[in-house]
Chains A and B, each alone.
Chain A
Amino acid sequence: MVNPVPVVKDVVFQNLLDDPYPSYDRIRNLASAVWVDSARINLVTRFDDIMEVERNHAVFASTNPKSLMNKVMGHSLMRKDDELHQIERKALEPSFRPGVVKKHWGPIFSDIADRLISAFEDKGEADLFKDFAGPMASYALIELLGFKSDVAWQDISLWSQSLMDAVGNYSTDPGITARGKAAAGAIETEIDRVLGYHTENENPSILSSIAHAEHKHSIEQIRANVNVVVGGGLNEPRDSILTLIYGLLLNPNQLARVQKEKRLFATAFEEAVRWVSPIGMYPRRVTQDTVLGDTQLKEGDQIGICIGAANRDPSHFDDPSVFDINRPRQQHLAFGGGPHFCAGTWVAKQMVGEIAVPMIFDRLKNLRLHGSRPVIENGWVFRGPTSLPVQWDV
């Protein structure tokens, strides 16, 4: 039976932010796509339906003339399809190849992590959000982009947050839009400052890769895609560093296993992004009337692809709400699953699973959750701990 999209009016927005998983379970049980009033979009939560969406981008497009993202960031590759998307995506590839990541970026990430840990190692307690994961992801991104070290980590972190807030500003609050535009302006200034250098000196940074791409990019294309990387390349590694540390601290047996067998950190990273996916939802536009699973969709419908929900779909994962590195190796959707599959996957694997998190456990002896300060997690479109207070022996 194919039904029209059911409407759900009683999902409280604040509940989605605090803990979206009970709402996801309810929506997943209801239909393949469900209109959720408070989210103002049709949510798709089942793993198999999302695979179908990802494998059919002619019907489920990323291009969207009404996109808020285009207004704030410019028209980037994330809102393009087919050939237009491919040429800009190819331009980024040289910076993101696994070999380049390992040989070139690996040592740079290690230095950053080492420097940050050295600064608080003797204190015995820290909030790993602001003392470690935030600056770690920010400094790494400054290097990746080729901004060279003049940018403060708090600045790029603020730009990133302002861009994301503006992109998600469905209530069209003018203050949020203004801050997003200010961030885009600051990034533009930064690009102007270093683009000449990268044009003349080919190197592994993203700005250099774009400047030397086979397809010559207009300055608007460069700005839009750098904005996407600033907006989308900071909070995910930051949040997955924290989620992975949190998952291991909650499960001492698993922690003991990875510490004995270091290569399991890579497996644990995959499990962390399945368990709490840093990007919980991204949008697609329906280009023609179509049936998805048990639901009739209409041309022009906006759908929200909830990979955070699919990664806890009980038809694919046993005990999906449990962090368990001993699961059988299995595909998850934390990096997406189609033409827009995360370009930064190998950067994330290396930074988080090979460097930052192993180093934290190696250097901070008997690391544990703080005795009196709580862990706070927040968000559904983007989700992760916003505070991770810990203690260790000094």
Chain B
Amino acid sequence: MITFTFVNPDGTETAVQVAPGYSVMQAALANGINGVTAECNGSAACATCHAYFDESVTSALPEIKEHEDDMLDFAASPREAGSRLSCQILVSEALEGTRIRLPDAQ
């Protein structure tokens, strides 16, 4: 199991333990995290699973492809350096101990 922490829009934190292979979006939904909406349930079509990853892990994540890149520009909250669609990121060793911040609006 991999352990990491969601930082909710209100500043509270929720630590979760997730088996590798699930997406970060699925991890959020399975743990009742409200800061992720995931309207398209991982089809990379809604941009309501936007999350901010810490700089220390971004280089270990799979690179942003053209489609995700385009979608991120249209997320409801501003794009930052660590912005990703959490449905496109699979839980792996790289996320152990990291903090994933969720935006004010999805």
Contacts and interface: CB of A to CB of B under 8 A. Distances in A.
A55 B41 contact: yes
A342 B105 contact: no
A335 B39 contact: yes
- Give the interface residue-count category, chain B: 10 to 19
B73 A99 contact: yes
Contacts of A340: 43
Contacts of A342: 45
Contact of B37 (A54, A331, A335, A339): A331
A123 interface: no
A98 interface: yes
Interface in B41-65: 41-48
A350 to B, nearest CB: 10
A361 interface: no
B22 interface: no
Contacts of A346: 74
A329 B48 CA distance: 12
Nearest to A332: B39
B28 to A, nearest CB: 13
A96 to B, nearest CB: 8
Given A93-B67, A99-B73, A100-B70, A343 B41 contact: no
A341 B39 contact: yes
B70 A99 contact: yes
Chain A contact patch, size range: 20 to 34
A345 interface: yes
Contacts of B33: none
A335 B67 CA distance: 19
B46 A98 contact: no
Contact of A89 (B39, B43, B47, B74): B43
B41 A98 contact: no
Nearest to B47: A98
A305 to B, nearest CB: 14
Interface in A51-67: 54-55
Contact of A345 (B45, B66, B70, B105): B45
Q: Sorted from nearest, which 10 A-B pairs have the closest CB atoms?
A: A341-B40, A98-B74, A97-B70, A99-B70, A341-B43, A338-B41, A341-B45, A93-B67, A331-B39, A331-B37
